[in-house]
Structure 1
Amino acid sequence: MMIHTILDTDLYKFTTSYAYIKLFPNAMGTFSFKDRDETAYTDKFLKSLREVVVSLAQVALTTEELEYMASHCRFLPRVYWEWLSSFRFQPDKVKIYLDEDCHLNIEVTDYLYKATLYEVPLLAIVSEIKNQTLGNIADMDDIICKLSEKVTLSNEHQLSFSEFGTRRRFSFDVQDKVIGYLKQTSQYCTGTSNCHFAMKYGMKPMGTHPHEWFMFHGAQFGYKHANYMALENWVNVYDGDLGIALSDTYTSKVFLNNLSRKQAKLFDGVRCDSGNEFEFADQLVARYRELGIDSTTKIIVFSNALDFGKALDIQEYCRGRIRCAFGIGTNLTNDTGYKPSNIVMKLTQCKMNINQVWRECVKLSDDEGKHIGSEAEVQACLYDLKIAIND
């Protein structure tokens, strides 16, 4: 099995799942897979993927895991972990096929508090099976050698980072060895987004909320109100905990224009997951200044396809103006000499209850070519937010 435990996923899948349970328990959604490289997959790959997905039905939260998560995540009530111990993945909810161009299609539809839990495990499985079917073999000596250089740079420059690499890892074993090495050698690795490895290595589980939370609010309440309502509802659930706000679901410019003084003061900082990091730092510092907030008390978490060299440049740029930290994923868990998969699963449709009509979900990235949604709905969103097509 490539997913050894239900905790072999990102923390924010659980925090988002609980938020749906608390505020939108009847909401339903569909998560859809996208390979941005438009890879042609094989029947052999498809067969292996289906077999592993069937095996997910055996994955369950253990008593030991329940006790660990209940004691280490004070922001999630014990009742959530007790519910999770009864949760089982349902392989029949996962539709998998290759289209006529051999592009991989995966869809999961369920109540959102359950559907959200499929995303990260499925992406990790796809990445690992792809490497297996291509005959790619990880050279651990080479991986650790490169990792050693990254850790040395981090230690020398006091560069704080978290490991965010589950969804596009080379394999479970590679991620395991990478995190084990970080635990032994890194002075400034603040934790990992993977709850299983956080438990195994005694590290802090890291994460807050994903794009889907904002996409759901945009589809249900309108794009103009999505950022504000998504943050307000997050506060309604977590009361100030998990205070890093994601900025780029409908472009960072729209987010910053809508950011209220209350939210800017209440949230510890903002995560930058697309676009130009240096420009975003300037814009966020300026927005805090407009709102009368000392930006040096706030933090930006950068997480967009980073390596350690770029992270160091960003840290130097932010020095003295705003604190910064880094979520580094693929560069840690899939720096193997092979091209990593560029894959995502995003919320593509949702409805507030079983009787409502489906509403399409949209994401407008700060990176060109990464908008998610049908062309018609993306255009409607751009129009609604008064964003020029080439902005």
Structure 2
Amino acid sequence: MTIINSLLDTEFSKLTMAQIVLHMHPDVIVRYRFESKNKKKIGHIQEINQEIDHLCTLRFKDDELDYLDSLNVFKKDFIEYLRLVQLNRKYITAEIDNNRRLQIEIKGPWISTIFFSVPVLTIVSEIYSKYQSINEKGFHSVEDTLDTGEQRLAKKIEYLTTLLKTGQLSGFKFADIGTCFRYSHYWQGVVIEKLKKQLRSYLFVGTSNPYFAMKHKLAPMGTMNHEWLMAYQQLGTRLQLSQKTALRDWIAEYHGEPGICLSDVVGFNAFLRDFDLYLAKLFDGCQHNSGDPTSWCVKLIEHYDKLGIDPKTKTAMFCDDMNFETAIEIHETLSEMIDITAGIGRDLMHDLGIPPLDISFNMVECNGGPVGSIGDDAGKTRCDDPRHLAALKDVFHIDT
């Protein structure tokens, strides 16, 4: 059984970014590089390549395109473009290097490569997880792993249900954002189905995976990710205007929906300097991905107040490796001042008693020039070029 069997089995943000790339940057060339923070080496390269081969045979199905068309987010020309999409194998290479480390590179036109990263991450994660579910004696324990997952998921649902009954979750809401971290496609389906059946709909509000959103009639969640703002560092505008230009172009394409913007591509303080009255009014809110979540949210609330915007009309989305305990604590502390939504990833989709991978694809080049990001955590700075990193720190006044 192959791992990816639908091009809709991705992140919703990849689709929203693809539309604007098609309309504004159809000739831009980019390069992505795979990164793993795990000390344990990832092997099984033949199996990974076989799955990528299969991925490159897939096309969007008519019912999937009808679903996307029904969302009133995507334009007709983009839907018809998706009807033609088939990933090209020549744009991606996967191999084991001399240090026995997995190396994957994606390089080609942005519009032709943007759909690779999420399914390839899930392929690597699922293959790795499958072999982690084999004990030292060589006996498969996949069923035992799934049983552990079922037990842990049941405890989470019981925990939330108990808090609901006592009135402690008034206004609390969360979404699944775990596609890139999931144990398997099967497991993600199990989790989403149980959450939908056993929790109230205003508590579990959606998923970032459009395949499961379509299947379970849930709201698709997501707007943009880091590559959108990073690419603008090489798209013809001055570096100091790159972030603001990327956000203004998003508004020009979407007119406010979807409208949650990333806030840490060059650090949150630099983001707030660019997040002027125009942008703050037209975006629905901001997403937290690095740094202390409480202090981040307090700064965001203060920024809205300073601009004369009622923070209660805006959303703070928390997505930095959230679990339910942390998400509920943030909600109890800050929800009276701003609307809060939690995105839960690994804690839902890879809590089965075996360690998940910490892997990602990062855009490292755009139109032949380096790009980078500087998060608000020390481990979330990504840039291959020291000179470009120094330029980012200088232009955006980052003291790290």
Name the SS of the counterpart of 2:381 in structure 1: coil
Compute the displacement of 1:60 (Å): 1.2
2:137 alignment partner in structure 1: none
Aligned AA for 2:391?
A
2:139 alignment partner in structure 1: none
1:119 aligns with 2:117: yes
Distance 1:21 1:86 in 2: 13
1:354 alignment partner in structure 2: none
Distance 1:3 1:218 in 2: 32
Residues 16, 113 of structure 1: 8 Å contact kept: no
Deviates more, 1:129-138 or 1:337-346: 129-138
1:247 aligns with 2:257: no
The alpha-carbon distance between structure 1 residues 152 and 297, as it changes in their structure 2 partners (threshold 3 A), is: farther
1:26 aligns with 2:36: no
Deviates more, 1:244-253 or 1:83-92: 83-92
1:58 alignment partner in structure 2: 57
The alpha-carbon distance between structure 1 residues 133 and 149, as it changes in their structure 2 partners (threshold 3 A), is: closer
Distance 1:130 1:165 in 2: 16
1:380 alignment partner in structure 2: 391
- Structure 2 counterpart of 1:230, from 228, 246, 250: 246
Aligned AA for 2:157?
V
- Structure 1 counterpart of 2:276, from 255, 260, 264: 260
- Structure 2 counterpart of 1:182, from 189, 195, 198: 195
1:65-80 aligned at under 5 Å gives the runs 65-71=64-70, 73-80=71-78
Name the SS of the counterpart of 2:105 in structure 1: strand
State the TM-score, normalizing by the size of structure 1.
0.94
Aligned AA for 1:123?
L
Name the SS of the counterpart of 2:340 in structure 1: strand
Compute the displacement of 1:323 (Å): 1.1
2:3 alignment partner in structure 1: 2
Deviates more, 1:27-36 or 1:82-91: 82-91
Compute the displacement of 1:36 (Å): 1.7
Name the SS of the counterpart of 2:257 in structure 1: coil
1:346 aligns with 2:362: yes
1:1-391 aligned at under 5 Å gives the runs 1-42=2-43, 45-71=44-70, 73-136=71-134, 137=142, 139-155=145-161, 156=164, 157-158=169-170, 159-187=172-200, 188-220=203-235, 221-351=237-367, 358-374=368-384, 375-389=386-400
* Residue deviations 1:198-238 (CA, integer Å, cap 9, x gap): 11111111110111010011233343212211110000110
Compute the displacement of 1:79 (Å): 2.4
Name the SS of the counterpart of 1:240 in structure 2: coil
Residues 267, 398 of structure 2: 8 Å contact kept: no
Residues 227, 362 of structure 2: 8 Å contact kept: yes
Compute the displacement of 1:38 (Å): 4.3
Residues 214, 226 of structure 1: 8 Å contact kept: yes
Distance 1:367 1:75 in 2: 33
Distance 2:160 2:283 in 1: 26
Deviates more, 1:90-99 or 1:46-55: 90-99
Compute the displacement of 1:153 (Å): 3.8
Compute the displacement of 1:90 (Å): 1.6
Residues 229, 246 of structure 2: 8 Å contact kept: yes
Gap runs ≥5 in structure 1: 352-357
Aligned AA for 1:50?
N
Please, what is the CA RMSD of the aligned residues?
1.4
Residues 60, 86 of structure 1: 8 Å contact kept: yes
Residues 312, 339 of structure 2: 8 Å contact kept: yes
The alpha-carbon distance between structure 1 residues 380 and 273, as it changes in their structure 2 partners (threshold 3 A), is: same
Residues 91, 107 of structure 2: 8 Å contact kept: yes
* Residue deviations 1:167-201 (CA, integer Å, cap 9, x gap): 11111111111111111112111111111111111
Deviates more, 1:313-322 or 1:378-387: 378-387
* Residue deviations 1:269-319 (CA, integer Å, cap 9, x gap): 100111100010110011111111111111100000010000011101113
Name the SS of the counterpart of 2:93 in structure 1: strand
Distance 2:37 2:388 in 1: 19
The alpha-carbon distance between structure 1 residues 177 and 296, as it changes in their structure 2 partners (threshold 3 A), is: same
Gap runs ≥5 in structure 2: 135-141
* Residue deviations 1:48-100 (CA, integer Å, cap 9, x gap): 111111111221111111112111x2010132122112111122221112222
Name the SS of the counterpart of 1:363 in structure 2: strand
The alpha-carbon distance between structure 1 residues 342 and 320, as it changes in their structure 2 partners (threshold 3 A), is: same
Aligned AA for 1:312?
I
Name the SS of the counterpart of 2:329 in structure 1: helix
Alignment: residue pair count: 380
Distance 1:233 1:280 in 2: 25
Distance 1:360 1:27 in 2: 13
Compute the displacement of 1:32 (Å): 1.0
Residues 91, 106 of structure 2: 8 Å contact kept: yes
Name the SS of the counterpart of 1:372 in structure 2: strand
Identity in percent: 28
* Residue deviations 1:117-167 (CA, integer Å, cap 9, x gap): 111001000000112233452633332332233234445114201101111
Distance 2:273 2:395 in 1: 15
Residues 153, 308 of structure 1: 8 Å contact kept: no
Deviates more, 1:83-92 or 1:240-249: 83-92
Residues 299, 323 of structure 1: 8 Å contact kept: yes
